[in-house]
Structure formats: C-alpha cells, structure tokens
Chains A and B, each alone.
Chain A
Amino acid sequence: MAHARSGLIWAFAALVPLLFLGVFFAWPVLAIVHLGLRDGGVGEVLAAAGTWELVGFTLGQAAASTVLALVAGLPVAFLLARCEVAGTGFVRAAVMVPFVLPTVVVGLAFRALWPDGGVLPIVLANAFFNVAVVARTVGGLWAHTDRRAEDAARALGASRPRAFASVVLPALLPAIGSAASVVFLFCATSFGVVLVLGGARHRTLETEIYLRTVELFDLSGAAALSLLQFAAVLAVLLLGGLARRRRETALSLRGRAEVVRRPTGGEWGVVAVAFAVVLTLLVPVVGLVVRSLSTVDGWSLAGYRALTGTGERGTLAVSGVDAAVNSLRTATDATLLALTIGVFSAVVLVGLRRGRTPLGIGEVLDTALMLPLGVSAVTVGFGYLITMDALPGDLRTSPALVPLAQALVVTPLVVRIVLPVLRAVDERLRQAAATLGASPWRVWREVDLPLAGRSLAAAAGFGFVVALGEFGATSFLARPDAPTLPIVIARLMSRPGQLNSQMAYAACALLMVVTIAAVLLIEKLRVPSSGEF
C-alpha cells in the first residue's frame, strides 16, 4: 500500500515540471505553428524563391560547419580518450571554452579577424563552437571502448590504419552520427554568429525569422518560416535519436577498460594535429582581447572606459555597466529557476524509476525535458511575444519574462548533468540510511544531496554561463530599458562609430573572462565521466 501510494505521489510530482513546460514551451511553440497555418502564410512563403535560397544556405552552411567540426574534433577526441600525454587537462578545458562562449562574442571574435564577415567566417565560427561537442561525445564513447579489439586486429595482421578503419571506426560510428546530428542542429539554428557575421547578405532561417519579426513586422511570414525550421529540426532530432539509441545499447555492452596509453609512432602525428586544433581554437579568443585593446591610435582602454556610458551618440538606452549588472541579475534568476525545476525533475525521474508507477510517465517527462534543446530559441522567444498576454499578471512586459525564457534553455542541461549522478547513488545506501532512522526527506538531505553536491554546483555554473550568453530568445524579450550584455553588444555592432565597436569588443572580452572562469570552475567540479558535456 505504501509503495502504491508513493508511486502515485511521484506521478503527481511529475506533473509539475510537465505543466511548466506546457505553459512556457509547448504553448508558445504551438501558437507559432497556429499563426503560421492560419493566415495562409505558409503557402505564400513556400512558393517564394527566396525561401528556398534561405533553406539552401541554412542547410549548406550547417553541413559545411559540421564536416569541419568533425574533422577538427576527432583528433581531439582521440587525444582525450586514448593518450597519456602532458597537457590533456588543459586541452579538456580549452576545448570547452568555445562551446560556452556567448554566440555574439564568437561572432564578434571572428569579425575581429574578418572585418567584412562572409560565408567563410560563418562556417569557421560555427565549427569553432562545436569542436567541443564532437570531442566530448566521440571521446566519451572512445574512452569506454575496449582497446583489446584493436589489439586483436593488429595481432591478426591489420596495419594501424586498417585496424582503425575496420575495428575502431565502426564502434565509434554511433557517437559520430549522434555528434554530427547535434552539431548540425546547433549550426542550422545558429543565430548570433550568423547575425553578426552575415549581416543582410547572408541570412539563415533563424536570422530571417528575427528580421521579419523585429524589422518588417511580418508576423505570419516569420511564423511560416518558424514552422519550416521546426520541421527540419524535428527531422534531424529523430535521426539523432536513432543514432543515440544505437550508441546506448552499444555502450551498455562494454565495461570500462584501461584504454589510456602513451602514443606511439604515427599516433604522435594525430596528437600534434589535436594540439594544433586546440591552439587554433584559442586564436579568435586571443584576437578578441587584442582587438578590444587596440584602436586607430594604438593601444587603449577606451572601449572599457566607454562601458560606463551609453555609447557614441547615445546608441544605448542604458550604460554598459547597467547592462552588465542586469545580465548578472537575469542570469542568476534564470539559473535559480532552472536549478529548482531541473533538480526537482531529476529527483522525480529517479523516484519514478524506483517506485512502481503508472506506465510511461517517466519516459514522457524525460523526453519533454529535452525538447527545448531542439527548438530554436528565436521560435520560443517569438512564441512568448504572442502568447504571454493571455496569462494573468501582464507577464509580457514583466522583467520575469527573460529569466523564464533563459531557464527554459538551461533546464535540460541541469537535468542532463544532475540526473546521471543521482541515478548512480546506490539504492542500498539510501536503505542503509533509512534503517538507521532517517525519514525519506532526511535520506535525501543526508545522502543524495551531499553526493550530488558537486554536480549541482557544476550544473549551476554551466547554467549560469549559458543564461549569461543566451541571445536568441533574449533578443525578442528584453525590454529596451533593460537589455543584457549580449543584446547591448549586438546593438553596438549594428550602429556606426569607432567607440561603439570598441565598446562592444570590450564588453565581449569581459563576458568571455566570466565565462572562462566559470568553465574552469566546472572542470574542477566535474564528476568524472558523468553527463554528456
């Protein structure tokens, strides 16, 4: 009886995050779908030749970026998973830096190197972002793949390249497929980078949706494009899901073997390439700092000093410092919100698995929590604009709107980081605590919480960084008098003036420093091989 009752309690608890997702994710997205279908905008947009050019460019640049990210990421994956050389700790952290950098910052870093923008920097910047995804996803599987299969192939007479092609590569293929689909998704919906580097010449679906909404007020056209993008994203997610399923079954077959060795012979070449990739990744980062300090008159801190003002000829409604403070406040709120929902959801998911509960609720919640990762933030932000009127309390003009949208983006990350750790807590450890007199709440506080503590801190740091750099949804929702730093940067870059761009670079450099500090902290707190990223 007690068991059946606790099962029901867990099932009811699962409704809380589901309700949150329903109101703040499903509803806005469905409203967009409805808007696109209602006004017949879809047919019109689909018939326009320009639309297919957009689709072509969107997919083309995403494909090129994905190939580049794979080529650059695989040597790094090899280095992280298989090699015992000095400096892997540095590589592990350095490769993560681009992934968490705000998109606007990355866009600007590449603009510092290619002042005119163009297709090449767009592809390079998107690949730059996603090397970490390839290195971590493929490296994760590689580190769990038994090295002895490779040794056996070599002992049977296969050359090193032959053994790699016939034994290693097939084993890694699921991870490579999964990484490629995730990277493709990120690149196809990449917003800040394309907006900064492409300008009006090179547009993707994502930036076009933004431009139509904000500049042209063509809501139904934007909705139709959102719908088109949603369909494309769904297709890629389904393909990625298939690859992931194969990977998970493959993973469960293997134990953890000692796979790290000192490289030999030709492997040193791969290691050298990996280090070269990592050093190349640092070029835009360093370039950005250099650019922020150099003016036509030589080295200067003018950009940093300008942050206390509102830019050349009052480009901004508030000063750079105010925007920075607002950024920190918003990101903190978003992180707290995401931690609350994410940890609650993770606890519910663990509870659902333990108890005997109505079928499928756990699976539904698990999938629903991942969906926001797959839908473009621009679509969500746009959806908020057209739905939040209907809620009581005038949420649309409320300062709570931006943290809500950011929390939606951060929550899936929190769940992915915390859930594996909570699931790994041995059930009998909880039972031992219970037999010693700890009530269920006390067990959670005395056992689960301390054991998951480090991953909670890591999730908070990671979430904070992502919220800090969130641009897609925020650009729709932030009020002009309360912008975040990424919004200010984009605004400064879109207006002429030497001081404006100097100020933007300085703001980027500051944002980058905060981000890198957070990443280094996360790397310290990481529980080894838990979670995906």
Chain B
Amino acid sequence: MSLRLTGVGVRYGAVTAVSGVDLEVADGEVVALLGPSGCGKSTLLRAVAGLERPSAGAVRWDDEDLAGVPVHRRGFGLVFQDGQLFPHRDVAGNVAFGMRMHGVETEARHKRVAELLDLVGLGGYQKRKVTELSGGEQQRVALARALAPRPRLLLLDEPLSALDRALREQLAVDLARLLREAGATALVVTHDHDEAFTLADRVAVMRAGRIRQVGPPTEVWRSPVDVDTAKFLGCGRVLPAAAALDLLGITVPGRVGLRSTALRVDSDGPLDGLVEERVHRRDHVRLLVTVRGEEFEAVAPIAEPPALGDRVRLSVDPDGLAVLGDQADGGQ
C-alpha cells in the first residue's frame, strides 16, 4: 500500500519540468512537496495522477507500474487549488460523483455523502448549489468529493492557496486533522512552508525540477541541506561558522542560516545594534539593524518598539537559526 517514484522525469518538448525524482509515500503517510512556483512540483503531482506522461522513470503502486493505467483507473483522488466543482450539480451530486462512477448503490451513497459532509463540517449542505458556496466551503466540498470513493492515495494541489490568509491557516489545521482521522495516504503540493509543516509527516523540498531534501518537518526546518533551500525556508542571511562566532558570538558546526527572528531586542542582550528601518507586522515589529557594520533583520515586541536611529541591545534566539546540512565553507 505505498507509492514509489523512481527516477521520474517529465519533459514538455525541450523543457525539462521534472527530472530524476525518487520518492516514497508509505501507507497512511502525508508527504508535502514544497517548493517555489515553477519548480515542477505540480507537474510531478500530475504525473502521479496520470495526467502527464513521465518521459523517464516509473510511478509504482505496490510494485505495479502505473505507466499503462489511465487516470480513471488509478484510484487516486485529486483536489485542485480552486476546487473545480461541477457547477451543474449540487453539493451532494459533487460528493457522490466518484461513487457513482464506481457503481456504489444509491443508499450507500447517501449515507457516505452525509458522513463526509459531517467530516468536513458542512453537515446538511447536500442540496446547496456549489456556485453559492464561499471559497472555503468549496474547498471542503472538493475534499469530501475526493475522499468519497475511498481513494488509495489523495493528491492535493495547492489545496488552500486560493483562500485568504486567516481562512487558510484555519483550514490547514482542519485539513491536517481530517487527513489523520481518515487515515489517508496523501501527497500535498504547496509553496507555503507553514502549510507543508502543518499537514505533512515528511517534507520533500523541490527546486528546478529536482528533489533537494526529504525529511520530517523539524529536520528540514532546522537543518536545510543547502543555501538555496535555507533561503527558501526563510533564512535571509547565511553565515559561515567563523563569521557567526565573530559577529554574533554563536558557535555552530557549519554554516548557519538566520531567519528574521534570529535576533530579538532584549535589554540584557549581548549584542549592540543601530536601528536603520522599522516595519509594523501583525504580531511584532520587524527591524533592520546594523551590528558591527553588518546589516541583520531583527524583531521587537509591539508594545514599545525602538525608533529609527536608536541603539538597541539584541540577543540571539536559537529558534531563528538553521544549521545547514552541507559542511562546505564560504558562501553568503
């Protein structure tokens, strides 16, 4: 009961969208494909669904090569970014669609539709028109529709990206719970690391058509494999070990990535900085400070933020640091 990709590549004419991807998704596991837009993650997902034909490698389910299996016989559910609900059917008609295709009896269908709508928090919505639902409700229906025929694998393509932020954060938590409760095996494509870390058991970071790093969220977050991955995961600066010791007084085994939260305004802090810029954010104030002639990002509490030109004391927050996996020297 597992998906295995070996050496998968996808080409559009002369353009290589995906190459040399090896990845395994175990039974009941949720894996996130995380990467910037255009990195080939959606193409890879479509290749797994059978909507794109790999130019190299193999997509296997339990050692069965799926190359000759058309989309509608794979038994993989797919949720699009913008739902893609059938506008000519009501909510129940959408959710029941897959079961009808599989010849499930009417009564069993009704029961399962009600069950799934309850699961996604839309109990009693059966007769509603899908065109009258909000974006978040549409995505919930899309998820129920994909889950209804009990797919062996659930594919989610940026499932929350079309929603506004507050809703997205709320739904990400809901979705994580849903996937656990349903015991679903799932592959989620996203460009948002919060979303990936909320949903997934393991994260595969993709860039330029290749998978750069695979691991549990905390591992990927704390020790990105290289500079580009670190930068994608929010490290504005990467310092060699020597520079980190010299400038910030921290001792690390290799290069270190600094997120915006790495330096905090702290009256007892060991470092001394000059405030150059100040921006108010939702729950903190973001600063640009110079520490011994080098510019760094830092955060301050909203209550009494320092003004431009103030001198502030700073301390290093270990949670804002990432230690790079490769031990090469140099680099910025």
Residues of A within 8 A of B (CB): 1-3, 426, 428-429, 431-440, 442-443, 446-447, 450-451
- Whether A438 contacts B72 in the complex (CB less than 8 A), given A2-B53, A429-B86, comes out as yes
Whether A428 and B84, one on each chain, are in contact in the complex, defined by CB atoms closer than 8 angstroms, is yes
Whether B70 and A428, one on each chain, are in contact in the complex, defined by CB atoms closer than 8 angstroms, is no
Whether B70 and A437, one on each chain, are in contact in the complex, defined by CB atoms closer than 8 angstroms, is no
- Whether A436 contacts B98 in the complex (CB less than 8 A), given A428-B84, A431-B71, A447-B86, comes out as yes
Whether A450 and B97, one on each chain, are in contact in the complex, defined by CB atoms closer than 8 angstroms, is no
Whether A438 and B101, one on each chain, are in contact in the complex, defined by CB atoms closer than 8 angstroms, is yes
A429, B102: Cα distance in complex, Å: 18
Residues of B within 8 A of A (CB): 49, 51, 53, 70-78, 80, 84, 86-88, 97-98, 101-102, 145-146, 149, 155
User: Chain B residue with minimal CB distance to A428?
Assistant: B84
Whether B78 and A431, one on each chain, are in contact in the complex, defined by CB atoms closer than 8 angstroms, is yes
- Whether A428 contacts B80 in the complex (CB less than 8 A), given A435-B71, A437-B149, A447-B86, comes out as yes
The minimal Cβ–Cβ distance linking B267 to chain A, given in whole angstroms, is 54
Whether B84 and A432, one on each chain, are in contact in the complex, defined by CB atoms closer than 8 angstroms, is yes
List 7 additional contacts besides A429-B84, A437-B98, A440-B72; criterion CB under 8 Å. A3-B53, A431-B78, A432-B145, A435-B71, A435-B78, A436-B145, A451-B88
A443, B98: Cα distance in complex, Å: 11
A435, B72: Cα distance in complex, Å: 5
- Which of B51, B70, B149 contacts A436 (CB under 8 A)? B149
Chain A residues near B84: list those with CB within 8 A: 426, 428-429, 431-432
- Which of B53, B87, B88, B101 contacts A442 (CB under 8 A)? B101
Most chain A CB neighbours (cut-off 10 Å) among B49, B88, B101: B101
The minimal Cβ–Cβ distance linking A354 to chain B, given in whole angstroms, is 12
User: Chain A residue with minimal CB distance to B96?
Assistant: A436
Whether B88 and A432, one on each chain, are in contact in the complex, defined by CB atoms closer than 8 angstroms, is no
Chain A residues near B97: list those with CB within 8 A: 433, 436, 438, 446
The minimal Cβ–Cβ distance linking B58 to chain A, given in whole angstroms, is 14
Most chain B CB neighbours (cut-off 10 Å) among A431, A447, A450: A431
Q: 30 A–B contact pairs at CB < 8 A?
A: A1-B53, A426-B84, A429-B86, A431-B49, A431-B71, A431-B84, A433-B86, A433-B97, A433-B101, A434-B51, A435-B49, A436-B97, A436-B98, A436-B101, A436-B145, A436-B149, A437-B72, A437-B98, A437-B101, A437-B102, A437-B149, A439-B72, A440-B72, A442-B101, A443-B72, A446-B86, A446-B97, A447-B86, A450-B88, A451-B87
Which 3 A-B residue pairings sit nearest by Cβ, starting from the closest? Answer: A436-B98, A437-B101, A435-B78
User: Chain B residue with minimal CB distance to A449?
Assistant: B88
Chain B residues near A431: list those with CB within 8 A: 49, 51, 71, 78, 84
The minimal Cβ–Cβ distance linking B135 to chain A, given in whole angstroms, is 16
User: Chain A residue with minimal CB distance to B53?
Assistant: A3
A440, B71: Cα distance in complex, Å: 9
Most chain B CB neighbours (cut-off 10 Å) among A434, A437, A439: A437
